[in-house]
Amino acid sequence: MVSFGGWVRTVRQGKGVGFVEVNDGSCFSSLQVVVEPESPSFALLDGIATGASVWVTGTIVDSPGKGQKYEVRAESLEVVGPAPEDYPLQKKRHSFEYLREIAHLRPRTNTFGAVLRIRNILARTVHDFFQSRGFLYVQTPIITTSDCEGAGEMFGITVRSEPEPADQGAEREPGEFFGKPAGLTVSGQLEAEAVCSALGDVYTFGPTFRAENSNTSRHLSEFWMVEPEMAFADIHDDMDLAEDFLRHLIRQVLEEGADDMAFFDQWVDKGLVDRLRGVLDSSFQRISYTEAIERLQASGKSFEFPLTWGLDLQSEHERFLTEELLRGPVIVTDYPRVIKPFYMKQNEDGRTVRAMDVLVPGVGEIMGGSQREDNLERLERGIEHLGLDKASYWWYLDLRRYGSVPHAGFGLGFERAVQYITGMQNIRDVIPFPRTPRHAEF
């Protein structure tokens, strides 16, 4: 005898027997519950509709029907919460755009159930991977006063009410709770570096926020990032780690999430599983930014955005490189100094930095990282050069003043990883409740 609760996907009657498909979210498949005419629950069938929650007690038996190995012969079937006819998820295919408008109900669909289970495997695997390699998990602040990427994309934090009377005369501007402008972090890297400079290899895994007004299928205003930081390490160690990490995530999902991945392979992105398997068997190609520009120029392809040494690669360039020219994941290194943040280690040529971006088909940039500038004077000059306020980075500079070491790290955009591995087209469909410009319902 088994007892379980779940949500009704479909109800039908055939040859006087009732069939109720119940899904409890634990896996892709629903369980067929058979209600015989003799059962006291048979009379209830008319009141059971798609979307209702039910509690089932019965026996698992071999299923004579097609499509499932087992079914449950119901002893009793109890409606816990009915669903009236206006239930928004009737049995038909809904567009992803429509489902975004009912993000509170879309976890009940096949696609989102699968996305959220794969996301869960990935989140756990992030920790497994780094923990098994001796990395320490460090929690970096969400509220910060330093703009890590220096791109001016921070959401500011203010208080709505004026300070309490007792605070008046205290040294702070009205509305500046922290005494100076503060915001939501764009990255935990700078704080991770501080801990790395004491405890060795560390990683963060948390939410980050960016006020960039990008309405694309790859940008969110709130997204999760995984940021490892390695001490006594250079750009080559960084690339090796990035590659091992991404492969490990893929391997684990293919192993543990086979049913959900078969669904994505069939309905969302044909050939996905074979393509991911291919990634497991080959190493990522590595080329410099300068070579990438040359290869793209030589391809003869015309792009919307200019392709000039010194300008950042746009998504169309990245995707052409990884999807058409090199046909697989690629690591692009040594970008021009002027388009990268202040903390990256400068190369001897004076024009480029030890940056590395990992690009993958279908998504483009999935990870961005670098070896960090560990020389105090050079770092100071870099900050000044970009017109940033050196004083506010005093503590970050201290890390170079006292016991500086070569170190390197990267950030993996967690949603972009889920996108890549599930083949989902839009990043808004791989996070339960997406935040994008003008959208923060739910």
- In the complex, the residues that contact Mg ion under the rule CB under 5 A are 368
Does residue 317 touch ligand 4AD according to CB under 6 A? Answer: no
Full strand arrangement of the beta sheet holding 156-157: 143-144, 182-184, 156-157
Cα–chain-centroid distance for residue 356? 19
Site string for ligand 4AD, 129-168 (x = CB under 6 A): -------------------xx-------------------
Give whichever of 31 and 430 is closer to ligand 4AD, judged by the CB atom. 430
Smallest gap from residue 227 Cβ to Mg ion (A): 12
Give whichever of 248 and 340 is closer to Mg ion, judged by the CB atom. 340
| Choices 51-59, 265-273, 368-376, 388-396 (CB under 6 A): range interacting with ligand 4AD | 368-376
Q: Determine the residue with CB nearest ligand 4AD.
A: 413
Give whichever of 368 and 409 is closer to Mg ion, judged by the CB atom. 368
Neighbours of 47 (CB within 10 A): 10
Does residue 333 touch ligand 4AD according to CB under 6 A? Answer: no
Smallest gap from residue 303 Cβ to Mg ion (A): 19
Strand-pairing partners, residue 21, are 10, 32
Give whichever of 18 and 413 is closer to ligand 4AD, judged by the CB atom. 413
Does residue 51 touch ligand 4AD according to CB under 6 A? Answer: no
Smallest gap from residue 355 Cβ to ligand 4AD (A): 9
Q: Determine the residue with CB nearest Mg ion.
A: 368
Type and span of the H or E element at 382: helix 376-385
- Classify residue 208 as left (phi > 0), alpha (psi -120 to 50) or beta: beta
Residue 27: C-alpha distances to residues 33, 64, 118, 412 (Å)? 16, 22, 11, 27
Smallest gap from residue 226 Cβ to ligand 4AD (A): 9
Smallest gap from residue 21 Cβ to ligand 4AD (A): 35
Please, are residues 427 and 217 in contact by the beta-carbon 8 Å criterion? Answer: yes
Does residue 415 touch ligand 4AD according to CB under 6 A? Answer: yes
Task: Report strand pairing: 364-371 vs 352-360.
Answer: antiparallel
Binding partner at 233 among Mg ion, ligand 4AD, none, C-beta below 5 to 8 Å by kind: none
Give whichever of 368 and 434 is closer to Mg ion, judged by the CB atom. 368
Please, are residues 202 and 195 in contact by the beta-carbon 8 Å criterion? Answer: yes
Distance in angstroms (rounded) separating the CA atoms of residues 34 and 48: 13
Question: What would the two tokens of residue 55 be?
Answer: 């509690």
Over 106-134, what HEC string results?
HHHCHHHHHHHHHHHHHHHHHHHHHHHCC
Tell me which residues touch ligand 4AD (CB under 6 A): 148-149, 187, 189, 210, 212, 219-220, 223, 225, 227, 365-370, 409-411, 413, 415-416
